[in-house]
Amino acid sequence: MHLSSDEPGPTRPTQQQGPRFAPFVDEHDNVEQLTELCHRAYAEHAAQGRRFFGSYQSVEHTRRRVLDGECWVAVVDGEFVGTVTVSGPGGFPDGYPAAPQAGRFSQLAVDPTWRGTGLGHALLVHAERRLAERGCDAVVIDTSSAADELLAWYWRRGYTVVGRWTWSVTNYDSTVLRKELPAVDGRGD
């Protein structure tokens, strides 16, 4: 995979090879490094007054989130530059606006120096593909209702609003988004 931008910024990486995606294995990979990546990725939201859980989660919380599903990392020169965790089908809290065969992803995070390179989109596509392969018929996620730029990013990628939700670990109301996933041969076997 090669990720590039037409106009690299002064801090934008210029690696000839893009990141490689690898499963995060808790016993072997560095959960502290993953936590630091999440903190960096969500720092801008925190600076805007949105307390995304990823902006302050502890190492132990990161470990629990990783173990809740299938965590993937984007790696360059041994450093994590992006991540996403997929889980499902099911596993949503009672009352959450998602059907039983839907899946979800969490802590989709991109190091700020990799923004604008296509890495976020590549992680999203990877998460959607893995959820379809796990037997999910849709992906349902949420983000801050005040995060207009994130909501627009998801809308451009085919997500639609299906409800609202409030988490105890954030300081905002969330907009819940859904996207249908294509059928995968042998899905759900």
pLDDT at 64: 87
Which one of 74-83, 160-169, 180-189 scores highest in mean pLDDT?
A: 74-83
Examine the pLDDT at 5 and tell me if it is beyond 50: no
Q: For the chain, which residues make up each domain, given as ranges?
A: 20-136
Mean pLDDT taken over the chain: 84
Longest dimension (CA), the chain: 48
Sheet bearing 160-166, strands edge to edge: 20-23, 70-76, 79-87, 102-110, 138-144, 173-180, 160-166
What kind and span of H or E run contains 32?
Answer: helix 31-47
**CATH number among 3.40.140.10, 3.40.50.300, 3.40.630.30, 3.10.20.30, domain 20-136:** 3.40.630.30
Q: Report the DSSP pairing between strands 160-166 and 138-144.
A: unpaired
Which segment of 36-50, 143-157, 164-178 scores lowest on mean pLDDT?
164-178
Helices (H), 53-165: 59-67, 119-133, 148-156
Q: Please give the model's pTM, rounded to 2 decimal places.
A: 0.83
Q: Express each pLDDT in 54-100 by its tens digit.
A: 777 899 989 888 888 999 999 999 899 999 999 999 889 898 889 98
